[in-house]
Amino acid sequence: MSEQVTYLELSEEGGSSHKFYEVKVSGVEVTIRYGRIGDQGRIQTQTYSTPEKAQAEAQKKIKSKRRKGYEPAVMGERKKRPITRRQITSTASKSKKAPLLWRFKSGSAAFGIFIDPQYCWVGNQQGKVFKLNHQGEVLNQYQLPDGVKCIVADQRWIYAGCDDGNVYDLSGKIPYLAYEIDENIDIFWLDIYGGILGVSDANGAVVKIDAESESQWTRLSKGRAAWMVRCDQSCIYHGHSGGITAYDIDQGRQLWHQQTNGGVLFGWQESQSVYGGTSSKKVYHFSKKGEAKGIFDCDAAVYSCATSRGGEYVFAGDSSSSIYCFNKDLQRLWKLGTGCGSAFSMQFFEDKLYIVTTDGSLACIDATDEAIKAAQAGEIPQAKTVNIPQDLKIGSVTNSVEITRNKEDGVIVECVKVGNKLKIRVVSPNYNPDWFVQFPRNIREEGAKYIVESVEEATQGGFYRAYGDIKKLIE
């Protein structure tokens, strides 16, 4: 059977686009391969009822890409470009040192961090994600296909957004592909609420993506290079070079915009507030109604910020490897050196400040009043240094699934074809048969049944979400 191949590329000089799109037609099958030039890319195959329909659909896809500026090219002539990364430099701090309790060396510059009551998560630019306890002991390691831009939590789910444009679910023993972001979006940051994803990109846009990786709306804000995105039940808050803009999460209607002096690099939210750290050495505080609440002054560009619960204390990390603490009345209480680079990201949790840094450290800092007073007097504890254990097992992304015959292990779901897409429905009783299930995208197989640890209704309503370990059911 003859195979027809069309290979296209879109590469803008000085721009962010450097992508390919390949269409193969073989009989009734159309295979699409797309991604960044020089990468293997992602592959999707669809089957049509006749070869004529397959040809027609292939031509439709090719024409659509040509309208967007893609041109025929020879594979391999253009070389791979470095992926867009947050361009940040770090200088050593001359401040007194912060009271570090422990420091874990992940091996590469780290952006991703999340702290919950049980674990501390860190993800670095080598695609490595580590799970530690609060004493700094390494429990698990995951290897993802590309550098980790951020780690976010959504109820019980833990997700890592990577430079390959994918989002991976880390809630089970091995990572699963949870979201595939559109190839035209050059991701800078992301956040998630109720299974709904907010993504900021290199061009200053923010995109809402649903549980099936479908874009719901895109809005171009009043600035470029948009790093900050935070989501809650009603809004997406977008920080960019022109300030912070709030959009209604359902329709993408702009609710308010506040200009900042300097581009927003990192954002934080509390129940009633949003905060943006900026290149102009300031942290801006706005209410979620768009009211200006205050500005916290630092001594260098602010890479990250966070608050204690309710915003009683505001923390900031700058480009000179310093961290700051302010009270809610804008008074600076202290400035201390990290001793391990500038804090790309941070989170406050139960009287401790956790940071991930330019040298790849995840550091736990004692932020109690007593510890800070002692640090200001030059008395700091001897920090424990934690290295990667030699015998640590590594969980990697895989398309294979463990097999079981036991129907009592969990909830039974089934993969069905709806149009040209594979969807998941619950087979077990007492679930809505019309609702689909958010389910790993890389293990879906038409007609297959799976046992899922649990299936839960999404807070946004209208669909379910699979949680935990997954096994393929053999009957």
Nearest to 313 by CA among 261, 382, 229, 369: 369
- The fold adopted by the segment(s) 100-386 is Methylamine Dehydrogenase; Chain H (2.130.10)
Average pLDDT score over residue span 135-151: 92
Q: Which residue has the higher pLDDT, 82 or 471?
A: 471
Q: Of 330, 378, 322, 386, which Cα lies nearest the Cα of 355?
A: 322
Burial (Cβ within 10 Å: 0-12, 13-18, ≥19) of residue 322: buried
Examine domains 4-72 and 100-386 and report if their fold is the same.
Answer: no
Q: Determine the average pLDDT of the residues in 137-143.
A: 94
**How far is Cα 268 from Cα 346, in angstroms, rounded to an integer?**
10
- Which residues are 190's β-sheet partners? 199
- Domain-wise residue ranges, the chain: 4-72, 100-386, 402-473
What's the rounded Cα separation, in Å, for the pair 36 and 54?
25
The confidence score (pLDDT) of residue 137 equals: 94
pLDDT at 15 over 90: no
- Copy the structure tokens of residue 144: 């993802």
Judge whether residue 90 has pLDDT over 60: no
pLDDT digits (tens, 9 = 90+) for 321-360: 999 999 999 999 999 999 999 999 999 999 999 999 999 9
What one-character-per-residue DSSP string does 77-112 give?
SSPPPPPP----------SPBP-EEEEEE-SS-EEE
What's the whole-number mean pLDDT along residues 411-434?
92
As a 3-state breakdown, the chain gives helix, strand, coil percent values, each rounded to 5, of 5, 50, 45
| pLDDT at residue 13, as a whole number | 63
Task: Please compute the mean of the pLDDT values over residues 435-444 and round it to a whole number.
Answer: 90
Give me the mean pLDDT over the 401-417 stretch. Answer: 90
Structural contact between residues 130 and 117, judged by C-beta atoms closer than 8 angstroms:
no
What value does the mean pLDDT take over residues 244-258?
96
With 0-12 / 13-18 / 19 or more C-beta atoms within 10 angstroms meaning exposed / middle / buried, residue 443 is middle
In terms of Cβ atoms closer than 10 Å to its own Cβ (0-12, 13-18, 19+), residue 447 is: exposed
The highest-confidence range among 96-105, 180-189, 392-401, by mean pLDDT, is 96-105
How far is C-alpha 321 from the chain's CA centre? 24
Q: Are strands 464-473 and 437-438 parallel, antiparallel or unpaired?
A: parallel
Residue 426's nearest CA partner among 445, 442, 410, 441 is: 410
Does the pLDDT of residue 211 top 90, yes or no? no
Are the C-beta atoms of residues 283 and 298 closer than 8 Å to each other? yes
Please check whether residue 414 is in contact with residue 425, taking contact to mean a CB–CB distance below 8 angstroms. Answer: yes
Q: How far apart are CA 11 and CA 17, in angstroms?
A: 5
39: number of Cβ within 10 Å:
16
Query: What pLDDT score does 439 carry?
Result: 92
Angle at CA of residue 185, ends 206 and 302, nearest 5° = 55
Lowest-confidence pick of 2-6, 175-179, 241-245: 2-6
User: For the segment 286-308, what is each residue's pLDDT rounded down to a tens digit?
Assistant: 999 999 999 999 999 999 999 99
Query: Cα separation of 29 and 460, whole Å?
Result: 36
For position 297, what pLDDT does the model report?
97
pLDDT in the model for residue 100 = 95
For residue 450, is pLDDT > 60? yes
Domain 4-72 has CATH 2.20.140.10: yes
Given this model, what pLDDT does residue 96 score? 87
Ramachandran angles phi, psi of 336, nearest 5°? -135, 150
In this structure, what token pair is assigned to residue 81?
A: 């470009």
pLDDT at 93 over 90: no
Query: Which of 101-105, 200-204, 438-442 reaches the highest mean pLDDT?
Result: 101-105
Specify the pLDDT at position 16.
56
Q: How confident is the model at residue 89 (pLDDT cuts 50, 70, 90)?
A: low
Residue 248's pLDDT band (cuts 50, 70, 90): very high
How does pLDDT run across 263-288, given as a tens digit for each residue?
Answer: 999 899 999 999 999 999 999 999 99
Q: For 39-88, what is each residue's pLDDT tens digit?
A: 777 777 878 888 888 898 889 889 888 877 888 988 887 776 555 555 55
* The predicted structure's pLDDT at residue 54: 86
Distance CA 348, CA 369 (A): 14
% pLDDT > 90, the chain? 56
Helix (H, G, I), strand (E, B) or coil at 439: coil
Residue with tokens 């004692």: 366
- Buried-state track 57-91, b at ≥16 Cβ within 10 A, e below 16: bbeebbeebeeeebeebeeeeeeeeebbebeeebe
Pick left, alpha or beta for residue 294 (phi over 0 → left; psi -120 to 50 → alpha; otherwise beta). Answer: left
pLDDT of 177 > 70? The answer is: yes
